[in-house]
Chains A and B, each alone.
Chain A
């Protein structure tokens, strides 16, 4: 199992560690509800250094990205980022990712899920017929997500980059907490605002950049009550926003259109499987990913069956939890299109019982 540059720091802070995507990661420190509330109301810090980063360079870099991703990366100017996905040839999704435009038409950074680093690398490489320079910098790149309504105000003293006025899905490169070559982007997976901070690390170095930046953040944020947050809260926060988690809500078998990712599927350009996806759109979707909230008492979990009132299967739960912000159980899942409109009563099979739920508008919170 791999460690991040901060694994020892997490253990020393009393984090509960779990294996995740081959990494030893903190799932919680003080409890999911506590960390969740800190991020929603104030600020929390996630070590997400397990995420993968690829640099694509050269005159054909944009062509390659356009070929493998569903969103239109040609729209990106330097300093802008976009959410996208890598469709496969069978109608599913290889991975979802962020595309950063470092230099227009020349240099891009792709940020991919930790569990898919090798798969994505191999997938993209097979389309690289024009010798785009590709670098997998995942092991040399640390990533902290500092999220919450007060995050940018708290962090501002650590950098000259204007964090507080950084538009959503833009980024800047510069010095942060005394570390150079840091990329700070106004992105995140919580819906709470804040930034994500990418920096170079050497994992075998005790006094590495990651520890330096982590300590600087807690020093400057201590008075404001900034907290470390783990993967548990990251999951409840993203689920309240209705953000897809690869491996749960989207995977090799789910269509981006069914997953509600039509907004990042641009048929104005040519990309993997675009003809079939366009036909799927024309023919109408058979199932859709929806959000739902429980009416009866019970918590939906991944892979629980979704049924109609008579108990006939109409879908499957992909994510579910007790929402810490709302104090009620919420979930996402695929249902036959006839059951996808907001307010439709559906039933979740929880331990052989059918519990009532209702299709709900996303985001939940």
Chain B
């Protein structure tokens, strides 16, 4: 499976890409494979300050539903609109067109403390 080196990861199977204090968040290739066909992504926490580890949304797949956990503290500013009509992008391109939200990060250094690609690889085995 593919876990790009330029991303950071959480044990809850989210990935984070940081530019300045803006982070893009999605779920990993492993996570989309476990969930199967994704039906939609629900995020109703835009503009609300959240702590690291808080539930920021849910992802519904045909077979199951799963919570989404915010990797670091901050405020979500944007949901990927493309997922509204094409939720399957999360399955087909989890690190690209299937990104889920953008957020402003309270403390960009916190991102550095997340798992790197090899650390995450050992989580999923």
Q: Is the CB of A299 within 8 A of B39?
A: yes
A residues less than 8 Å from B60 (CB atoms): 298-299, 322
A235 and B61 alpha carbons, distance in the complex (Å)? 14
A27 and B37 alpha carbons, distance in the complex (Å)? 12
A32 and B36 alpha carbons, distance in the complex (Å)? 7
A330 and B5 alpha carbons, distance in the complex (Å)? 40
In the complex with contacts A32-B62, A236-B62, A297-B36 CB distance below 8 A: no
- B87 (CB) vs chain A CBs: closest residue: A322
A-B contact count (CB 8 A): 36
- B64 (CB) vs chain A CBs: closest residue: A301
Q: Is the CB of B40 within 8 A of A297?
A: yes
Residue in contact with B63 in the complex, picked from A32, A298, A329, A351, CB distance below 8 Å: A32
Interface string of B55-67 (1 = CB under 8 A from A): 0001010110100
Interface string of A206-248 (1 = CB under 8 A from B): 0000000000000000000000000010011000000000000
In the complex with contacts A232-B63, A236-B62, A322-B60, A28-B36 CB distance below 8 A: yes
Q: Is the CB of A31 within 8 A of B37?
A: yes
A residues less than 8 Å from B36 (CB atoms): 16, 27-28, 31-32, 232
A351 and B37 alpha carbons, distance in the complex (Å)? 21
In the complex with contacts A28-B36, A31-B37, A232-B36, A322-B58 CB distance below 8 A: no
- A36 (CB) vs chain B CBs: closest residue: B62
A16 and B65 alpha carbons, distance in the complex (Å)? 17
A232 and B65 alpha carbons, distance in the complex (Å)? 14
Shortest B43–chain A CB gap in Å is 13
B residues less than 8 Å from A297 (CB atoms): 40, 42
- A33 (CB) vs chain B CBs: closest residue: B37
Shortest A11–chain B CB gap in Å is 15
Residue in contact with A32 in the complex, picked from B33, B37, B42, B58, CB distance below 8 Å: B37
A351 and B60 alpha carbons, distance in the complex (Å)? 12
Mark out the residues of chain B between 61 and 114 whose CB falls within 8 Å of any chain A CB in the assembled complex.
62-63, 65, 91
B residues less than 8 Å from A236 (CB atoms): 62
Q: Is the CB of A351 within 8 A of B58?
A: yes
A301 and B63 alpha carbons, distance in the complex (Å)? 9
Interface string of B22-47 (1 = CB under 8 A from A): 00000000000100110110100000
Whether A321 sits at the interface, judged by CB under 8 Å, is yes
Residue in contact with B62 in the complex, picked from A16, A232, A298, CB distance below 8 Å: A232
Whether A193 sits at the interface, judged by CB under 8 Å, is no
Q: Is the CB of B37 within 8 A of A321?
A: no
Q: Is the CB of A301 within 8 A of B62?
A: no
B residues less than 8 Å from A321 (CB atoms): 62-63
Mark out the residues of chain A between 29 and 49 whose CB falls within 8 Å of any chain B CB in the assembled complex.
31-33
A322 and B37 alpha carbons, distance in the complex (Å)? 10
A residues less than 8 Å from B91 (CB atoms): 31
A residues less than 8 Å from B42 (CB atoms): 297
- A329 (CB) vs chain B CBs: closest residue: B39
A329 and B62 alpha carbons, distance in the complex (Å)? 9
B residues less than 8 Å from A33 (CB atoms): 37, 62
Shortest B47–chain A CB gap in Å is 19
A31 and B42 alpha carbons, distance in the complex (Å)? 21
Shortest A321–chain B CB gap in Å is 6
A27 and B33 alpha carbons, distance in the complex (Å)? 12
Shortest A227–chain B CB gap in Å is 15
A27 and B36 alpha carbons, distance in the complex (Å)? 10
Q: Is the CB of B63 within 8 A of A324?
A: no
Shortest B53–chain A CB gap in Å is 18
Shortest B59–chain A CB gap in Å is 11
19 A-B contacts (beta carbon < 8 Å): A31-B36, A31-B37, A31-B91, A32-B37, A32-B62, A32-B63, A33-B37, A232-B36, A232-B63, A235-B63, A236-B62, A297-B40, A297-B42, A298-B60, A301-B65, A322-B37, A322-B39, A322-B62, A324-B62
B residues adjacent to A (C-beta < 8 A)? 33, 36-37, 39-40, 42, 58, 60, 62-63, 65, 91
Since A16-B36, A322-B37, A329-B39 are in contact, a sample of 7 more A-B pairs with Cβ atoms closer than 8 Å, ordered by chain A residue number, is: A32-B62, A232-B62, A232-B63, A301-B65, A322-B60, A322-B62, A351-B58
A residues adjacent to B (C-beta < 8 A)? 16, 27-28, 31-33, 232, 235-236, 297-299, 301, 321-322, 324, 329, 351
* Pairs of residues from A and B, 6 with the lowest C-beta to C-beta distance, nearest first: A322-B39, A33-B37, A32-B62, A299-B60, A322-B62, A32-B37
